A = this chain, B = another copy of it.
Amino acid sequence: MNLSDYVLKFLKQRKVKEVFLITGGAISFMIDSFSRTRGIKYVCVGHEQAAAMMADSYSRIGPNLSCTMVTSGPGATNLITGIACSWFDSIPALHITGQVNSYEKQGAQKGTKNTRQIGFQETDIVSISKPITKFSYQLKNPNEIRYVLEKACYLAKSGRPGPVLIDIPMNFQKVKIKEKKLKRFKIPKKNFDNSILKQNIKKIINILKNSSRPIVLLGGGIKISRTQSKIRNFLNKLNIPVVTTWSGVDLIDHDNFNYVGNIGVYGSRAANFAVQNSDFLLTLGSRLDTRITGGAPNTFARDAKVISVDIDKNELSKKRGLNLHLKINSNLVEFFEIFDKENFTYKNESWLIKCSNWKKKYPIVKKEYYLQKKYVNPYVFINELSKILNNKSIIIADDGGHLTWTIQAFKVKNGQKLFSAFGNSPMGYAFPASIGASIANNKSKVICIDGDGSIQMNIQELQTVVNNKLPIKIIVMNNNGYGIIKQFQELYLNKRYEATTPKTGVVNPNFKAVSRAYGVNYTLISNHKNLKKKLIKSIKSRNPEFIEVLLKPDQKIVPKLQFGNPIEDLSPLLSRKEFNKNMIIKTVNKNRKILEAN
């Protein structure tokens, strides 16, 4: 058995069903093993960057491990942006890179250590990827293979998950190994003492008992720990209002009475009012990023006792002005396990109703948006899209404006999955991620919500969609330039639209011609007329479909926090009278003006 045969056998045992790859000199022995191995397939893609993003979303959809295989040098470095997506969003993924022969690499022979390169396409991918992986290792010896694979997979999935990379010299790939003699990796024993966690949960309950305006914040950690199913039971006990972060947006049915909305810089007024007026905030699996807390974390939930449950103790101790009342460094699996045993319920009908009223009073999608005659209003579009999609849909948004509109306006149904590469947020993620998700989900329909700038970054993968007959719906929300930067330039740079518009060098291709050139159906939605009909037709089709949606070039994100304001005070600012009516706690400065970006 070759080492590379063993790698495939190992991946099969870990239930990897598809590997995303591009071949190349230094990985060809590894890939040759597919010819001898049943039950594991590969998907040839157009760019390694896309392979890494496919593996990222394959892993988000789960339940299996995801994997890429690429060659040395540029094959490996092309993975970096996709690996960063997995790193920042805590997604386990295994990247296997080929490397030059062990005897010809830098340092293998005397005097070769300090050269830039010895072998052809040799690149020190281990050092390059180290800052954004949990484990990045070049195989020193073929007999390490089992140990290294087991360690890599353990680290990828344990604690706070993340991507790992194993670099395998070409000559090792074809070495004969004796499976039985391979060294194993010992999974570190957890001497988990849950007495502290038990005490902390008792503390939570005590604090909650004395609270009158409690909120629970659901973060992406719940998905990462695969504890979604625990939420219902949890809310049965704690019948209190729920808000979500962007990463947690699909953790609860948005029609659920407890659900108020998304919070943060681009949150809903309702959810932000709820959090900012709360006296108790339990955050589950959220790193409380500044997109959540606003640029001044000391103004976040400032009247509340904030209790944060996070697996990463570094996230709990980062402060930035935010005062955590209780830091619980725990896996959510264990947290829910103990919490479930507590015999305790909580309810405060009036607070629930207050939050629900905010939700009714401040909807994101306003009725007047429907009246727009020219172009499509993105809030209307996302609203209609979310009405059409069933509860098994997977929706992946890219970044910038269209991501924001999607997260703001999409009404998640129970069972739907809606995500993006939130922390890294590269242009071009959604499309390859949709491919990865579709393949992870038995070649199912996936809704890709992209922008006119972003779709171009991985446009070559249209061919992968066609080759694999994936019924992906590629929605391009075209506002003719980089919308979110245009809005920034309008606000802070006196409308100097450098490098964001056709006049300043950002010109779109003809999307109709390009999508059709790859053999993908194309639909244009240029205003609200027929929007629903066209959308239904494209979504129902069993083919890949490219749907271009024309937006106003200066379409705004509404609401949005002005830099420096606390998150309850989203722009456009409410009249101070109306604003004050919504504030139960003291505002920071009742007469505050819009702060200029300093």
Contact = CB atoms under 8 A, between A and B. Distances in A.
Given A23-B498, A111-B318, A499-B23, A119 B459 contact: no
Contacts of A127: 130-131
Given A318-B112, A514-B517, A123 B35 contact: no
B457 A317 contact: no
Contact of A84 (B22, B123, B508): B123
A306 to B, nearest CB: 15
A124 interface: yes
A99 to B, nearest CB: 14
Contacts of A347: none
Nearest to A489: B28
Interface in A107-129: 109-112, 114-121, 123-124, 127-129
Contact of A47 (B74, B77, B456, B499): B456
B81 A111 contact: no
A373 to B, nearest CB: 30
A518 interface: yes
Nearest to A104: B290
Interface stretch (A197-205, A423-431, A551-559): A423-431
Interface string A535-579: 000000000000000000000000000000000000000000000
Interface stretch (A374-382, A460-468, A471-479): A460-468
A139 interface: no
A488 interface: yes
Contacts of A318: 109, 111-112, 115, 118
Copy number of this protein in the oligomer? 2
A517 B513 contact: yes
A117 B456 CA distance: 27
Contacts of A25: 484-485, 488
A237 interface: no
A232 interface: no
A506 interface: yes
Nearest to A101: B295
A282 to B, nearest CB: 21
Contact of A116 (B88, B110, B120, B123): B88
Nearest to A422: B120
A320 B109 contact: yes
Interface stretch (A38-46, A150-158, A184-192, A269-277): A38-46
Contact of A42 (B118, B132, B499): B499
A363 interface: no
A81 B74 contact: yes
A342 interface: no
A80 B506 CA distance: 23
Contact of A456 (B28, B426, B463): B463
A519 B129 CA distance: 38
Nearest to A46: B456
A88 B111 contact: no
Contacts of A35: 496, 498
A112 B423 CA distance: 16
B504 A44 contact: yes
Contacts of A73: 84, 424-426
Contacts of A165: none
Contacts of A488: 25, 28
Interface string A495-521: 010111000111111100110111100
* 7 shortest interchain CB distances as A-B pairs: A74-B426, A513-B517, A44-B505, A517-B517, A23-B499, A456-B460, A114-B314
17 contacts: A21-B499, A28-B493, A31-B499, A35-B496, A43-B505, A74-B427, A77-B84, A78-B81, A109-B320, A111-B317, A116-B312, A120-B290, A124-B131, A128-B131, A456-B460, A459-B460, A460-B460
